[in-house]
């Protein structure tokens, strides 16, 4: 928790913008903890460390731009993305999981994926791969950015303003956000036998090398 607060204070507006932009559509952003950082930034704004009137429009724009870059990347690369070799910043399994989620929820994925780590990074890319109509994508993108970026910022901000000594409860709140954000992935893993077996095999291979 101290690390998250220290990071947000040190990163400032520029660093937070980079995180939100990267996590919204760049392959290198899938591991970033955007949910907890947004909430913490909102909380720190309530304590006077940052300005909520700067954070909201700035990070909203970064979220929209990040998804737009992801869409463009997928649109131009097309099906080739499924043939791309695994690397430190790219994993075909992540693309597959996002694809399954996309096929299940359709265009709403652009909104829903905002609240699911990993999926939110690859969803706009897959929208581009699938040649989703750009006007429709933009509409979902804007709504998703409002609910995610602005919503989490305001949640942290208002809780910081209305709850006395809220900093005492900040750690469990952040932990709760993290748990809620990864819960859909855990549920999907439990239900999907193939994914469970793949994960177990990967863990076994790691332990054998160690």
Please write the tens of the pLDDT for every residue from 2-61: 478 888 889 899 999 998 998 887 766 555 677 888 988 998 999 889 999 999 999 999
In terms of residues, how long is the chain? 210
Per-domain residue ranges for the chain?
2-183
Cα 74 to Cα 183: distance, rounded to the nearest angstrom: 27
Q: Classify burial at 182, counting beta carbons within 10 Å of its beta carbon; exposed 0-12, middle 13-18, buried 19 or more.
A: middle
pLDDT tens digits, residue range 127-161?
Answer: 888 788 889 899 999 999 999 999 999 998 998 88
Cα 55 to Cα 153: distance, rounded to the nearest angstrom: 8
**Residue 87, beta-bridge partner list:** 90
pLDDT score of 1: 47
**H or E stretch covering 39:** helix 34-46
**Residue 90, beta-bridge partner list:** 87
pLDDT tens digits, residue range 68-86?
Answer: 998 998 888 776 665 655 5
């Amino acid at each position: 928790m101290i690390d998250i607060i220290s990071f947000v204070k040190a990163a400032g507006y520029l660093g937070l913008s980079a995180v939100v932009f990267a996590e919204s559509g760049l392959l290198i952003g899938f591991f970033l903890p955007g949910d907890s950082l947004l909430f913490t930034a909102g909380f720190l704004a309530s304590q006077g460390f940052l300005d909520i009137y700067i954070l909201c429009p700035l990070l909203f724009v970064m979220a929209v731009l990040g998804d737009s870059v992801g869409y463009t990347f997928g649109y131009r690369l097309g099906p080739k993305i499924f043939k791309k070799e695994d690397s430190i910043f790219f994993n075909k399994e992540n693309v597959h999981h996002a694809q399954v989620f996309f096929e299940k929820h359709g265009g709403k994925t652009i909104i829903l994926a905002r609240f699911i780590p990993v999926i939110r990074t690859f969803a706009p890319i897959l929208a581009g791969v699938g040649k989703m109509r750009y006007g429709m994508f933009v509409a979902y993108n804007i709504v998703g950015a409002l609910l995610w970026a602005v919503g989490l910022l305001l949640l942290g901000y208002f809780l910081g303003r209305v709850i006395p000594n809220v900093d005492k409860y900040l750690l469990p709140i952040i932990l709760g956000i993290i748990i809620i954000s990864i819960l859909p992935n855990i549920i999907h893993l439990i239900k999907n036998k193939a994914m469970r077996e793949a994960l177990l095999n990967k863990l076994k291979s790691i332990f054998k090398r160690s």
